Amino acid sequence: MSTVSLRQERLLVADGLLGASSLAALRDHVALSDYRGVHGQKWDRVWRLWDGNPQRGPSVYYDPDRRFDHKVPAYPTGTAMDLLIDAVRTQSALHPDITGVEGVDWAGIYLCPWLYPVGSALSLHQDAAKYTGSFTFFLHLRWRLHWGGELFVYPPADPARLGSLPGLGHDHPWMSDDGPEDDMIADVAVAISPSPNRLVLLGEDRPHRVARVDQNAGAHVRASIAGFFLRAP
């Protein structure tokens, strides 16, 4: 049974999400999946050019009412991904103030595995309005504090902060990391270590980023499954 390790407004950290056999099956599934670089088809600007080369695995949908247009496997897939989907839905139902209520606020889930090798990261961003929230589940075998890869979660952006800053102008953040988005966000964050078998639920208004995986991690890859709660189309 999972344990809530941290709970804040629109943020939940739950440890021990899956049992040992389910976690092992999911690790095998992720390890044997096919991957491509995050910019393999085109430049995905959520990842800046200096964020390294995270690897993205195959997508899966939880779409019980067939509301979304997708051409990828849908739940039930007959794989260990179904076990995670069930567990995520349970946690969302237990904490509806974070990601909303299934069938009311959100109608589906979109998820896929990610591998972050040494030197890779994900820059600060806030998820798109078509999502009511998101989740990340960590499933590598072990992770040490000095290996980096923390998930940093910030308070909601505050446009009023822009008024206290000099009008120097801004470039697009993916071009120079000098956009107004950073200026609207407080510089105090919650740092969540990517401990194995840990689930993080995020509300839609919580900006976040993934710290760069440190050289201390060596050959250890930060392995996760991330997903979004989809508003009804």
Q: pLDDT at position 181, please?
A: 62
Tell me the per-residue pLDDT of 160-190, one tens digit each, with 9 for 90 and over: 765 554 455 566 777 776 555 666 787 899 9
Query: Residue 32 CB: number of other CB atoms within 10 A?
Result: 8
Separate counts of helices (H) and strands (E) for the chain = 5, 13
For residues 49 and 34, which has the higher predicted lDDT (pLDDT)? 34
CB 137 within 8 A of CB 22: no
Token duo for residue 149: 């890869």
Instruction: Tell the CATH superfamily of the 3-38+50-150+177-197+204-230 domain.
Output: q2cbj1_9rhob like domain (2.60.120.620)
Sheet of 122-125: strand order equals: 122-125, 208-210, 151-153, 190-192
| Per-residue 3-state assignment (H helix, E strand, C coil) for 132-198 | EEEEEEECCCCCCHHHECCEEECCCCCHHHHHHCCCCCCCCHHHHCCCHHHHCCCCCCEEECCCCCE
Region 200-207: mean pLDDT is: 96
Q: pLDDT at position 172, please?
A: 73
CB 140 within 8 A of CB 28: no
Residue 14's φ and ψ, nearest 5 degrees, are: -120, 130
Tell me the per-residue pLDDT of 76-125, one tens digit each, with 9 for 90 and over: 999 999 999 999 999 999 999 999 999 999 999 999 999 999 999 999 99
- pLDDT of 74 strictly over 90: yes
Q: How far apart are CA 83 and CA 204, in angstroms?
A: 24
Token duo for residue 23: 């976690």
With left for phi above 0 and alpha for psi between -120 and 50, is residue 15 left, alpha or beta? beta
